Structures are given as structure tokens and as C-alpha cells.
Structure 1
């Protein structure tokens, strides 16, 4: 496995991983954007301003993570690689030079909640979802380095 900084040329691949993973993990989540809108979003709103790391297995991208100003905004792994350690490796790489990180996770996403809890994140704020785009109840989780 190789973890490296994502390039603008990775936008389409990242958007596909994002869409595929979300559909598999959260089939109950409303789909609000087209695949083309997803590509535009990652190309113009994420890649230019966030630290985006991509995990590759050989030549194939299998996951990515993006962080910006203390927020973990995206961590997605292709469903066929769930449980293979790619998420853990991406999370470790992204927070290697950080002392604090927070994120939002949907309350119904038990797998993600378990993953983040296992990696030291605490559930600290529950909402009814009215402030997120999907209008689905979520949780703010945070992590702080122990040293």
C-alpha cells in the first residue's frame, strides 16, 4: 500500500470512491448530488484547500482522507477493502502532525462510529441533523493527542 498526496487528476477517482462507499455503508442516506456534481465538488472545493491523501494498492486507488483546519471531512475506503487496515493507515497518516481533530458522523452509521471510537475519538455532541445537508441526525466526535 502507498499513501500519497492526492492530485487534481484524482478528483474523478475520489468522487467514485466517495459515492460507492456512501451507497454501500449508508443506503438510507438521501442521494443529493449527481456523479458529475461530486467530481466538481472534489475538484474545486476539496482538493484545492484540504490536505487530501489517497491510498493505492498497486495502481488502484482504494481510499482517501481529507482534513482541513482541525476537521476530518472525508474518510472513505472502497467497500471491497473494508476491514483491511486502509482506513487506519490513512487516519494515522493524516493526524501524524496534528494534536486535535474533529468530525461529523451520522448517528445511524454504526460501523464508522465504532471505527472512530476504536481510534480514540469521543462522541461529544449529538444533533437532530437539521444543520447538515442530508437532514439526518449526526454526532460530532473529537480526538486529542495524549502526549
Structure 2
């Protein structure tokens, strides 16, 4: 299965619950990340964002397997379900987010080595770092990555 075997469309607020479940799955698989138990607040947050920002979802058999949210030139989220990773879904979603943009920015935690490797492979470069402090006392380094459309003649 490859990226072309999935359907891609603009996301809508009704997709928020499925996308929140993908984030919960990712947080459960990520030892250093705060776990997501209560889906209701996260679903409400994404529902509002999906009504405001540019959103793309990837589907297989009417089941959402990935999504990307872009606000202006910033990627606010790019997640792919466990079973759809390494099949080109993330690349296709990122490519959709790059369309009609001269540049985009995406943040990824330093410990998220898979995401950072993916962004580097897709032409994004590190431009800054910040330390983010969470309520539970955890601090994580967040890295800003930037992609700039290549100049063409």
C-alpha cells in the first residue's frame, strides 16, 4: 500500500474526533509525551481549528488515517495513524500543505526523532529552538523547522 491508495480531502469539523484518536494513539506510543486520556477537550479544540484553518485528511475505506492542519504558513499538526505510517501518507499531507506557499514552518520536539528525520528528508531545516514547560513539570525542547520553496526560473 502506498500514498496513492489513500483518499485525500479537505478536513471538516466533524473529522475532529477521529483525528483526536490518532493523537491519543501517538501519545500512548510515545514514552516521553504526556498521555491523552480525555478525548472530549481535544476533540473540541480540533473541531474549532478545523472550522478555521486549512485541514487535509487521509482516508482509507472512509476511515481517517492521517491529518494535517495549516494556519497561514505554520503547520499546527501532522499526524498519521500507526497502521498507515511509512506509506507516504505524511509526505502527501505535507505536500498538500506546501501548495501555494512560499514557505512553511513546523515545530517538532527534539525527542521526536522520527518526525525530525522526516522533516529534514522533506527539505525543512532547523531554524530555532525553545524550551516548553508543561504543568506536570516536564520540559521539552521544541525545534522550529522551515521549508522555503526553491527558486525556479
Instruction: Give yes or no for TM over 0.5.
Output: yes
SS at match of 1:30: coil
2:35 aligned partner: 31
Distance 1:132 1:93, change over 3 A: farther
**Aligned-partner Cα distance in 2 for 1:131–1:89:** 31
Residues 49-128 of structure 1: pairs in structure 2 closer than 5 A: 49-128=52-131
Q: 1:69 to 1:79 in 2, by over 3 A?
A: same
**Hey, what's the Cα distance between the residues in 2 that align with 1:111 and 1:49?**
28
Distance, in Å, in 1 between the alignment partners of 2:127 and 2:84 is: 29
Q: After the TM superposition, which segments of 4 or more aligned residues of structure 1 sit over 3 Å from their partners?
A: 130-135
Is this contact kept in 1: 2:70–2:97, CA < 8 A? yes
How many residues are paired up?
A: 145
The aligned residue for residue 145 of structure 2 is 141
After TM superposition, the structure 1 stretch with the greater mean CA deviation from structure 2, 3-12 or 62-71, is 3-12
- Aligned equivalents of 1:70, 1:17: Cα separation in 2: 23
Once the two structures are superposed, residues 84-129 of structure 1 have per-residue CA deviations (whole angstroms, 9 ceiling, x without a partner) of 1100111111111111100110001100000000000001112222
Normalising by structure 1, report the TM-score: 0.90
Question: What is the TM-score of this pair, normalised by structure 2?
Answer: 0.87
1:98–1:58 Cα change, 3 Å: same
What displacement does 1:137 show? Answer: 1.1
User: C-alpha distance in 2, partners of 1:140/1:131?
Assistant: 18
Unpaired runs of at least 5, structure 1: none
- What is the alpha-carbon root mean square deviation over aligned residues? 1.9
